Amino acid sequence: MVTHLEPGGFTPLIPGFVELFRVHNYGAAWSSFSGMRWLLLAVTCAIVLAVTYAVVKKFVRHPLGLVASTLIISGGLGNIIDRARLGYVVDMFNFQFISYPVFNVADMCIVSGAILGAIYYLWFYEKYDKKGNAHGNADITGKS
């Protein structure tokens, strides 16, 4: 993607639905915090480390929580790599049928992980992973 399109360049991916549109995003969502590279790197690193810690210490054991955590960690790492290496994040997916900011695969992982994480927390955390809960010993096989 980076080598095939110049900044601002685009090519149809699914005509009428989504195109590849190269944008250099120096900020976070909707280009907020533009120019605050080191702050964004620090905050993203802190979030990735916190989620990783929760997984390693087995605060999150339910499969849905683990999938959500993995998506957040991988999306965060993708953005960290771009921002540290390039000074910006390369966004590339542009919906053509609605007005929506251009985004990348890491953004999809983070948003999907956050949504799944909210579902996990609202419906599964109390039953499977809350400390002191009689059922708080779920593992990857789903056994309690």
* Cα dihedral 29, 32, 34, 37 in deg (nearest 10): -60
What is the three-class DSSP state of 21? strand
Tell me if 79 sits within 8 A of 65, measured CB to CB: no
Catalytic residue, chosen from 82, 91, 129, 139, is 91
| 72's tokens | 């957040």
Annotation marks residue 139 as catalytic: no
Catalytic positions, please?
Answer: 91, 107
